Amino acid sequence: MHRIDLLVLSAAAGGLQFLSYEPTGWWPAAWIGLALLFVALLRCSTWRFSLLVGFAWGTSTALFSLPWIGSFVGYGPYVALSAVLGLLAMPAAWAMWFVGNSGLPTWLRLPGMAALVAAGEALLQRWPFGGFPWLRVAWGQVDGPLAPAVALGGTALVSFLAALAAAGLVALLSRRFLTGLGLVAVALLVGSALPMLQPLPEAAPEAQTRVAVIQGNVPRLGLEFNAQRRAVLQNHADATGELARRVRAGEEQQPDVVIWPENSSDVSPFRDSEAARIIDSAAANIAAPIVVGTFTYDNGTQNTMVVWDPALGPTERHEKIYLQPFGETMPFRDLLRHVSDMVDRAGNMTPGSGDGVVATGEGTPFLKPVKLGLATCYEVVFDGAYRNAVRNGATMLATPTNNATFGFTDMTYQQLAMSRMRAMEFQRSTFVAATSGVSAIIDAHGAVGKQSKIFEQKVLTATLPQYSHMTLAARFGAWIEGGIVAFGIVCLVGALVGALRGASGGAAGDPARRRRNTHL
pLDDT at 325: 84
What was the pLDDT predicted at 288?
98
Task: Catalogue the long-range contacts made by 504-511 (C-beta closer than 8 Å, 24 or more residues apart).
Answer: 508/103, 511/97, 511/98, 511/101, 511/102, 511/103
Percent of the chain with pLDDT over 90: 79
Of the candidates 44, 368, 371, 377, the residue annotated as catalytic is 377
Which residues 6+ apart lie within 8 Å of 371 measured at CB?
Answer: 357, 358, 359, 393, 394, 395, 396, 466
d(CA 254, CA 209): 10
Q: Which residue would you say has higher pLDDT here, 329 or 322?
A: 322
pLDDT in tens, 193-215: 987 888 899 888 889 999 999 99
Instruction: Identify whether 202 is a catalytic site residue.
Output: no
pLDDT band at residue 346 under the 50/70/90 scheme: low
**Mean pLDDT confidence for 17-44:** 97
**Residue 407: pLDDT above 90?**
no
pTM: 0.94
More confident residue, 436 or 484: 484
Candidates 307, 323, 210, 312; CA nearest to 265 is: 307
| SS3 state of residue 411 | helix
Q: What is the pLDDT of residues 424-433, one digit of tens each?
A: 999 999 999 9
Q: In what order do the strands lie in the sheet with 290-296?
A: 313-319, 302-309, 290-296, 257-259, 208-215, 458-465
d(CA 506, CA 514): 10
Catalytic: which of 22, 44, 121, 262? 262
pLDDT, position 60 = 98
Q: What is the per-residue pLDDT across 115-150, written as a single tens digit (0 to 9) for each?
A: 999 999 999 999 888 899 999 999 999 999 999 999
What does DSSP assign to residue 353? -
Mean pLDDT computed over every residue of the chain = 92
The SS3 assignment for 517 reads coil
What confidence score (pLDDT) does residue 374 get?
98
Q: Judge whether 44 counts as a catalytic residue.
A: no
> Which of the two residues, 51 and 75, has the higher pLDDT score?
51
Hey, how many other C-beta atoms are within 10 angstroms of the C-beta on 413? 18
262 catalytic residue (yes or no): yes
Report the pLDDT value the prediction gives residue 391, as an integer from 0 to 100: 98
Q: Which of 316, 320, 379, 481 is catalytic?
A: 320
Cα separation, 495 vs 513, in Å, equals: 14
Q: Beta-carbon neighbour count of residue 116 at 10 Å?
A: 29
How would DSSP label each residue in 282-315?
A: HHHHHTS-EEEEEEE-BTBSEEEEEEEETTTEEE
- Residue pLDDT, tens place only, 61-79: 999 999 998 776 677 888 9
118 touches 485 (CB < 8 A) = yes
CA distance 76 to 79: 5
User: Secondary structure of 225-270 in the HEC alphabet?
Assistant: HHHHHHHHHHHHHHHHHHHHHHHHCCCCCCCCEEECCCCCCCCCCC
Tell me, what's the pLDDT at 518?
A: 40
Whole-angstrom CA distances from 35 to 12, 78, 441 are 11, 27, 35
Average pLDDT over residues 283-299: 97
Question: Using one digit for the tens of pLDDT, what is the confidence trace for 261-271?
Answer: 999 999 999 99
Distance from C-alpha of 442 to C-alpha of 60, rounded to nearest angstrom: 31
Torsions phi, psi for 113 (to 5 deg): -65, -40
